[in-house]
Amino acid sequence: MNSREVALNIINRVLEEGAYSNLVLSKELNDSDLNEKDRALVTELVYGTIRRKKTLDIIISNYVKDISLMEDGVLNILRMAIYQMHFLDKVPDFAACNEAVELSKNISLQSSKLVNGILRSYTKNPDDIEVSDSPIDKLVYTYSYEPWFIRMIYKQYGEENGRKILAGLNATPKVTVRVNTNKADFDEVYEKLEEMGYDVEEGYACPEAIIIKGGSSIENNELFREGYITVQDESAMLVAPLLDINEGDVVLDLCSAPGGKTTHAAELLEGTGKVYAFDLHENKLSLITENVERLGLNNVEVDAMDATKLNSKYVSMADKVLIDVPCSGLGIIRKKPEIKWNKSRKSLKDLVPTQREIMENAWQYLKQGGTMIYSTCTLNNEENGENVEWFLNKHKDAVIEKIFLGNMDNFIYEKNGALTILPNEYMDGFYIAKISKK
C-alpha cells in the first residue's frame, strides 16, 4: 500500500467506525514498510483531514447538491485531496488530484469521474468558496469546529481567548519528554539526545521537559527504552510537582493510566514513600506497569479500582491525592482531532456527576493537612471551575491554594487560585486546582 492508501484506510476507520486516530495510526504505521518521509505524510494527512473536516465539507458542498448523499469512502477521498490542495504547500495539486482519482477507481468508475470533476472545478477557482455570512459560520469555516463548540468556548472565555483556543487546538503538537531525574540529570540527557541526532530544545514551561523538534521515533530510542525519559505533554508535567511531595509521602493517583503523573510522583519521592496507582479499566493497568518498570521505579503499587466507589481500605491514608478525572478531553484535540466530531453538549454534561463522585471519595482518602490536586484535560468550565466551586461550598475543611507558575501567555490564573492552560503548539489545554484539607 502506498502512503495515501494507508492514510485513507485510517481516516475511514476513525470517521466511520469511531476508532481512535492515535492508536490506529500507530498500529498501521508499525505494520507498514513505509519510509520516514512517507510515514510523516501519512501522519499529516490523517490528522490534518480529520482536524479540518468541517472546512473541507464546506468546500465540497460548493460542488455537490447534498454532501450527505455521498458514499463515505468517496467523501473521505475528496476530503483528503482537498486538504492537500488547500492546506499543504509541499504537495502539487495535480499529484493530489491524480492520486485521489486512482483511489476512487477502487470504489467504482463512476466515483472516479465524480472525484475528478469536483477536484478539477476546485483547482480552477480555489478562492471562490461560498460561505454563509453569519459570524458563526465564518468561524466554522476558518477553524473547523461544530457551531455549538465555538459558541460554548466564546461564552466561557470571551472572544480574544476564544480565538486563541480555536487556533491552539489546531496546532500541530510537539513531542515532549520528561527527564527521569532518578536516573540522570537534565543536561546529560539533553546532550545525549543531541549526540543521537535529535533536534531538541528546552521545555516551554517545565524545567524537566525537553522538546523533540526532529529526529527518528522516540519510542525506539535507547534512552526511552532504558527509562531515562518518558513521553508526556508539558501541561501534564506541571501536575505532580504541585502536590508538594515530601520524602516518605503516601500518594494516591485514582485515575492513573497510562501512568505519566503516577511515575512523575514516584520520581519526586526519590525511592521513598509509596504511590498507589489505580484505574477502572483492568486492560489499562499493564500500561502503567510497563512505564513503572521501564523507569526503574520500585515505590509504585498498581491495582484496579473504581474511583466512583469508596474503598474503606484507603480512608484517611494518603498525604497527597491526585485525581486527573475522566473528562471530555477538549484540551487534547491537537492530539486526537476526532474529539471535535464525537462529542456533544449533552455528553459533556453527563460527565459531571462522575467527576463529583470521584472528588468526594478522594477527599475521604486524604489525611488532614494533606493536598488534593483536581485536574482535567478539558477546557469546559462545567467540568473545571464549576466542579471546584461546588466542592468548596460543600466541604468547609477544603481550602483552595493559589497556583503560580510564572507569566506564560497561555496561562490563565483564575480568581480562586486555580490554573487554566490554553492550548498552543507546546501544551495541551488543561485545568489544575490545588485543594488542602485543613
Active-site residue list: 377
Fold for 234-437, please state it. Answer: Rossmann fold (3.40.50)
Q: Which residues pair with 318 in a beta bridge?
A: 366
What's the rounded mean pLDDT across residues 45-52?
Answer: 98
- CB burial class (10 A; 0-12, 13-18, 19+) of residue 93? middle
Q: Is 257 annotated for ligand binding?
A: yes
User: For residue 436, what are the β-bridge partners?
Assistant: 371, 399
The chain-wide mean pLDDT, for the chain, equals 96
Give the containing element (helix H, strand E) for 175: strand 175-179
| Whole-prediction pTM | 0.95
pLDDT in tens, 158-189: 999 999 999 999 999 999 999 999 999 999 99
- Pairing of the two strands 300-304 and 274-279: parallel
Return phi, psi of residue 307, to 5°.
Answer: -65, -15
For 10-25, what is each residue's pLDDT tens digit?
Answer: 999 999 999 999 999 9
Annotated ligand binding at 260? The verdict is: yes
- pLDDT, mean of residues 334-358: 97
**Residue that the C-alpha cell 453538549 belongs to:** 345
Residue 256 assigned as binding residue: yes
353 prior amide bond cis, ω within 30: no
Is the predicted pLDDT of residue 214 greater than 90, yes or no? no
Containing 102, the helix (H) or strand (E) segment is helix 93-105
pLDDT level of residue 155 (50, 70, 90 thresholds): very high
CA quadruple 284, 286, 289, 294: dihedral, nearest 10: -120
What was the pLDDT predicted at 216? 78
Domain ranges of the chain: 3-130, 143-169, 175-231, 234-437
369 labelled ligand-binding? no
Instruction: Read off φ and ψ for residue 299, nearest 5 degrees.
Output: -115, 30
Q: Is 31 annotated as contributing to ligand binding?
A: no
Q: Which tens digits make up the pLDDT trace of 359-404?
A: 999 999 999 999 999 999 999 999 999 999 999 999 999 999 999 9
Residue 279 annotated in ligand binding = yes
Confidence of residue 212 (pLDDT cuts 50, 70, 90): very high
CA 290 – CA 364 distance, rounded (Å): 29
Residue 275 amino acid letter: V
Whether 387 and 352 have beta carbons less than 8 Å apart is answered as: yes
**Would you say 147 is a known binding-site residue?**
no
- 217 pLDDT band, cuts 50/70/90, is confident
**Cβ(154)–Cβ(380) below 8 Å:** no
Cβ within 8 Å of residue 242, ≥6 positions away: 373, 403, 432, 434
Q: List the beta bridge partners of residue 179.
A: 229
Q: CATH code for 175-231? A: 3.30.70.1170
**Count of CA atoms in the C-beta half-sphere (13 A) of 48:** 19
Sequence-distant (6+) residues with CB within 8 A of 219 are 231
Going by C-alpha positions, the residue among 278, 271, 379 that lies closest to residue 321 is 278
pLDDT tens digits for range 55-83 = 999 999 999 999 999 999 999 999 999 99
Distance separating alpha carbons of residues 267 and 109, to the nearest angstrom: 59
**CATH architecture group of domain 3-130:** Orthogonal Bundle (1.10)
Question: Could you tell me the CA-to-CA distances from 135 to 32, 142, 248 in Å, in that order?
Answer: 44, 11, 56
Is 428 labelled as part of a ligand binding site? no
Helix (H) or strand (E) holding 213, with range, is strand 209-214
Q: Are the C-beta atoms of 276 and 301 separated by less than 8 Å? A: yes
C-alpha cell at 27: 498500529
Cβ atoms 282, 306 nearer than 8 A: no
**Residue whose C-alpha is closest to residue 212's, from 198, 226, 223, 224:** 198
pLDDT tens for residues 221-267? 999 999 999 999 999 999 999 999 999 999 999 999 999 999 999 99
* Helix, strand or coil, per DSSP, at residue 380: coil
Taking the C-alpha atoms of residue 46 and residue 26, their distance in angstroms, rounded to an integer, is 11
Residue 324 assigned as binding residue: yes
Q: Annotation-wise, does 429 bind a ligand?
A: no
